[in-house]
Chains A and B, each alone.
Chain A
Amino acid sequence: MLSHLVVGAGLYFGDSIFYVVCFLLLMWIVKVLAWKPVTKMMQDRADKISNDIDSAESSRNEAADLVQKRQTALASSRSEAQTIVNDAKTNGQQQREQIVTQAQTDAQTLKQNAQKDIEQERQDALVNARNDVADLSIEIASKIIQRELKADDQKALIDSYIEGLGKQHES
């Protein structure tokens, strides 16, 4: 019909319509079969990659934070250890001084006690000696003069005599 009107009757206009219909149908099929799923997949992949990059960035930051924390913890534990060692040293020093002082005091006390004891012993010995000498003198005197004297009067007499001796010695 159309071909009678057109000069180029060699051109088949039916073909033209067929091609247009064919192409539109093909576009629809391509869209459903491949275009939509593939472009969606490509978009998904692009999103995933950018997400992965982001998460890698955040993991890196997290790791850096952890390293920072660990280093801080390490430094603090080191200083803590230092403090403990110092404390122990100070304590030891103090204890040592205390023990030494204690020992010195004890030694002093012991020495003083010993001196006191020795003094006491000496005094006692002196007193005993004095008594013995008194008794002896009384016995001797009673034998010599054969006269009973009262022990106490005799002792006073001896004491005065010995004092007289001591005075002679000092002079």
Chain B
Amino acid sequence: MNDGPVSTFQFLGLTFSTANIVSATVVFLLVVALVYFTSRHLAMKPTKGQNFLEWLIDFTNGILKGSIPTKEIGGFGLYGFTLFIFLFLSNELGLFINLSLPNGATIVRSPTSDPITTLTFSLMTLMLAQFAGVSKLGYKTHFGNYMKPFKVWIVISIFEEFTNFLTLGLRIFGVIFSGEMLLGIIWKLAVSHGIATMIVAVPLEMAWQGFSAFLGAIQAFVFVTLSSVYISQKLEVEE
């Protein structure tokens, strides 16, 4: 949430937000821990951790297979898998951990409740789509696609790229940001008049937390699905 004072610092002439850096590092470490502890003792007959990991890989591969032809998935599988667990944990992080500095600036929250994060991932996906299109079809065919079905269409095509970039990034940001904001508001309500409001607000808070957890999973799924759709669009020649 960006409604309080924000802690920032400068490095190499760039402005960094402490909250984003710290949250991203936390999520990064969580993902590494997740894949590290579930991938120990790999065996032909999978056990607990391996089962979970294989299920997760099958799940993200399944999302990708929905739009990209199986033989062209290749490295996109890894991209989709990492993107999914990173976004999922990012979405869920702020629901359970929300730390603030004494001056009121948050330092740990969902990284995805900041548009800069989600737009970064959105941009990354679209750049990957461009790259995949060029490497598969070549520059001429790839950029030729922008001028189909006729040359004037290039305006709409470029505009479409821009809207794809915005909608992909802002959709997940909106859901997670509003979820966290509402959690904060309900919590303020809970502590406003002592025990009486606490009794009413705590179940509400828990319900909303559960719903947000669900939404976080859905948004991670939607993000990966749309990413694969945008990538697959660049992999085929338009008629």
Residues of A at under 8 Å CB distance from B? 1-3, 9-20, 22-23, 25-27, 29-31, 33-35, 37-39, 41-42, 44-45, 48
B residues 1-27 near A (Cβ < 8 Å) are 2, 8, 11-17, 20-21, 24-25
Stretch of B111-119, B130-138, B219-227 at the chain-chain interface: B111-119
A20–B28 contact, CB under 8 A? no
Do B57 and A12 touch across chains, with their CB atoms under 8 A apart? no
30 intermolecular pairs with C-beta atoms under 8 Å apart: A1-B13, A2-B13, A12-B16, A12-B17, A13-B116, A14-B14, A14-B15, A14-B16, A15-B17, A15-B21, A17-B14, A18-B16, A19-B116, A23-B124, A26-B28, A26-B86, A29-B32, A30-B32, A30-B78, A30-B81, A30-B82, A33-B32, A33-B39, A34-B35, A34-B36, A35-B57, A35-B78, A38-B50, A38-B54, A41-B46
CB distance from B64 to the nearest CB of A (A): 13
If over half of A's interface residues share one DSSP class (helix, strand or loop), that class is named, otherwise mixed; here it is helix
Tell me which residues across on chain B come within 8 A of A26, comparing CB atoms: 28, 31-32, 82, 86
Q: How far is the CA of A38 from the CA of B2 in the complex (A)?
A: 39
- Cβ-defined partner of B57 (8 Å) among A22, A39, A44, A48: A39
- Assess A22 versus B82: contact at CB under 8 Å? Given A14-B15, A15-B120, A33-B35: no
Give the Cβ gap from B41 to chain A, nearest Cβ, in Å: 11
Q: Is B67 an interface residue (CB 8 A)?
A: no
Point out the residues of chain A lying under 8 angstroms from B44, CB to CB.
41, 44-45, 48
Contact A19 B121 (CB under 8 A): yes
Report the separation of the CA atoms of residues A129 and B119 in the bound assembly, to the nearest whole angstrom.
160
Chain A CB within 8 A of B146 CB: no
Taking A15-B117, A35-B81 as given, write out 15 further A-B residue pairs in contact, using a Cβ cutoff of 8 Å, ordered by the A residue number: A11-B116, A12-B15, A12-B16, A12-B20, A15-B114, A16-B123, A18-B24, A19-B20, A22-B24, A23-B82, A23-B83, A27-B79, A34-B38, A35-B57, A38-B53
Contact with B14, one of A2, A33, A39, A45 (Cβ below 8 angstroms): A2
Of A12, A30, A48, the residue contacting B35 (CB under 8 A) is A30
What is the minimal beta-carbon distance from A26 to any residue of chain B, in angstroms? 6
Bound Cα distance from A18 to B28, whole angstroms: 12
Which single member of B53, B79, B111, B123 contacts A34 (CB below 8 Å)?
A: B53
**CB-contact partner of B42 in A14, A20, A37, under 8 A:** A37
Q: Nearest chain B CB to A44's CB is how many angstroms away?
A: 7
Cβ-defined contact, A14 with B11, below 8 A: yes
Q: Could you give, for residues 70-82 of chain B, a 1 whenever the CB lies within 8 Å of some chain A CB and a 0 otherwise?
A: 0000000111011
A38 contact from B17, B57, B82, Cβ within 8 A: B57
A30 to B12, CA, bound (A): 29
In the bound assembly, the distance between CA atoms of A78 and B69 in angstroms comes to 62
Q: Do residues A15 and B116 form an inter-chain contact, with CB atoms below 8 A?
A: yes
A45 / chain B contacts, CB cutoff of 8 Å? 44
